[in-house]
Amino acid sequence: MIGEKPRHGYELMKTIEDRMAGSYSPSPGVIYPTLAWLEDMGYAAPSAEDGSRKCYRITPEGEAFLTSNRGAVEMLQARLSGACGGTREDVPEPVIRGMENLKMALRLRMRRGNFDADAAAAIAKALDTAALEIERT
């Protein structure tokens, strides 16, 4: 994505989420170590933009790497677009709201911890029931 245009970390997270139609949203713990690795490899370079935020751009070495691996990149992009079934704009707002509510409920419950066998079974049953209902639509 930084090969398309320079981007900062938050923009990358939102772009990935949008391209995955909301089915996946990478965390800062995924994005920023990846950007640091790309910088260490010489494939991306940061520049200060909007104060302290780093905006990453692709380097000539990164362009060469993308060019030599174009087939793998295209295959990965095809798999991702097939997995999510379109763009986030194609997903009705009530579905997006429901997905976000479910993600938030799971995050909050996991943050509380204390999963005994009964709690784990109840959560799994609720998720399985929701999955079955969605498959039936």
| Mean predicted lDDT score pLDDT of the chain | 86
The end-to-end CA distance of the chain, in Å, is 34
86: alpha, beta or left? (left if phi > 0; alpha if psi -120 to 50): left
Choose the most confident range, by mean pLDDT, from 1-15, 69-83, 84-98: 1-15
Q: What is the pLDDT of residues 68-80, one digit of tens each?
A: 998 998 888 777 7
Q: What is the pLDDT of residues 32-63, one digit of tens each?
A: 999 999 999 999 999 866 567 789 999 999 99
> How far are the Cα atoms of 46, 61, 102, 132 from residue 22, in angstroms, in the given order?
27, 31, 12, 20
Q: 7-88 — its CATH code?
A: 1.10.10.10
Please give the sequence-ordered ranges of beta strands (E in DSSP) within the chain, or none if there are none.
7-8, 44-49, 53-58
More confident residue, 65 or 85: 65
The domain segmentation of the chain, as residue ranges, is 7-88, 93-136
Residue 29 tokens read as: 């713990």
> What pTM was computed for the model?
0.59
What is the C-alpha separation between 120 and 103, in angstroms, rounded? Answer: 16
